[in-house]
Structure 1
């Protein structure tokens, strides 16, 4: 796993993304997101606000278990329904590559088609080089809500992931946007495309993961 100080790429994020402090405690994260919701969409119902808070907390828990090294939350009004809020998470991960040889993306594509048949894959050429785009829907259950009450709520999460091989390091970089606000998916695809075209190599002097470009 690469550390934040050795991540070799930079990227830009639109202004509505707010970095997530993955080291913060549960209460602090909830207060921050609640305040952001109150500012971005003050007229949403209490039920929707609770749903968005729960979805965000669930997403953060997954980030922590998956080894995310950078995360940010998008929060705004839905273009499809301006009376409601919309939210998504953007994350960056780095993992060692199991693929060997000179065609790691093709190897990964073959593995995904075999192991995750619902995933849609496509090779894309970006300024940094050839990458693999993966779009997938997943469903997960949370057994309790924010108050510890049993719910068994099913989360339908859609994600678009860009995989870029860091060949010299024997690693893969994963850039991912994910959301439960499926009505706004087309807008998130547009945002992800904008982020992907901004990815570039960091200066040779070194860069922190937090040194993202201005959106």
Structure 2
């Protein structure tokens, strides 16, 4: 199972654990853009040989943009999925899994209700509904959006428009006054249905950390 602390410098462990498919690799959120790009390129050339230079560049740029957004949002854990597309075996398919926490607005007996109301009121491209997992009632949000001004691998801004879909599972950590967000996002929209199914399987593994789970800094220890 994956064990995560609240922040890289915190000894207070995130209270939920989860398992990811073996194709996921942890993202070093502390690395610089060039280092991340170099590591990802090595991984691509090793695990997905035969990609064209254009395909490699697209994956590298998409990954860098995704990581920059996660850093801005305060993500505490991230992992990248890399594989071949089931729709086009000659193309790579990539998605980002992330975990973050946000302070809960006020104290509510039903903490997810104001979140659902806010999403329906303010996010035109999102659909949200309740779902019951083993850990309790969660809110599932699917969002389709376009973003401008991403960054290049070198860190320079561009005016390129990116089309991203994301599925989020939101769970209230009431005793901490926080909301936990588990998210899977991708620009590989042709594989979207497969990623939705993947996220559903990941959600089945989310559970409360047992007392004998060893605390650690941000790490990825998978069942395989």
Please report the TM-score for the alignment, with normalisation by the length of structure 1: 0.93
Query: What is aligned with 2:83?
Result: 76
In structure 1, the residue matched to 2:7 is 3
CA spacing shift, 1:180–1:10, aligned 2, 3 Å: same
Is the Cα–Cα contact under 8 Å of residues 104 and 177 in structure 2 kept in the other structure?
Answer: yes
* 2:107 alignment partner, SS class: coil
**Aligned in 2, Cα 1:148/1:171: closer, same or farther, shift over 3 Å?**
closer
Runs of 5+ consecutive residues of structure 1 not aligned to the other structure: none
Q: Could you tell me how far 1:122 is from its partner in structure 2?
A: 1.1
Matches of 2:71 and 2:191, distance apart in 1: 25
Cα distance in 2 between the residues matched to 1:160 and 1:99: 25
Residues 64 and 151, structure 2, Cα contact 8 Å, conserved in 1: no
Deviations 1:114-151 (A, max 9, x none): 11122100100001111000000111123663357875
Distance (whole Å) between structure 2 residues aligned to residue 3 and residue 153 of structure 1 = 31
Deviation string, structure 1 residues 90-127 (Cα, Å, up to 9, x no partner): 00001111152211112210111011122100100001
Partner in structure 1 of residue 29 of structure 2: 22
Q: What SS does the corresponding residue of 1:27 show, helix, strand or coil?
A: helix
1:44 and 1:83 in contact (8 A); partners too: yes
The structure whose residues are more often strand, as a share, is 1
- Given that 2:149 and 2:158 are in contact with CA atoms closer than 8 Å, whether structure 1 keeps it comes out as yes
Equivalent position of 1:124 in the other structure: 131
* Structure 1 residue 34, shift from structure 2 partner: 0.3
Please name the residue that 2:38 is paired with: 31
- Which secondary structure state, in structure 2, belongs to the residue aligned with residue 142 of structure 1? coil
Report SS of the residue matched to 1:152.
coil
Aligned twin of 2:223: 214
TM-superposed CA distance for 1:191, in Å, is 0.9
Once residues 143 and 194 of structure 1 are traced to their aligned partners in structure 2, the CA distance between those partners, rounded to angstroms, is 30
Match of 1:191 in 2: 198
Where does structure 2 lack aligned partners over 5 or more consecutive residues?
Answer: none
RMSD, aligned CA = 2.0
In 1, Cα distance between the equivalents of 2:21 and 2:186?
A: 16
Q: Count residues with an aligned counterpart.
A: 215
What pairs up with 1:1-215 in 2 under 5 angstroms? 2-3=6-7, 5=11, 6-142=13-149, 145-146=152-153, 152-205=159-212, 207-208=215-216, 209-210=218-219, 212-215=221-224
**Structure 1 Cα separation of the partners of residues 209 and 155 of structure 2:** 43
Structure 2: distance between partners of 1:177 and 1:157: 10
201-210 vs 158-167, which moves further = 201-210
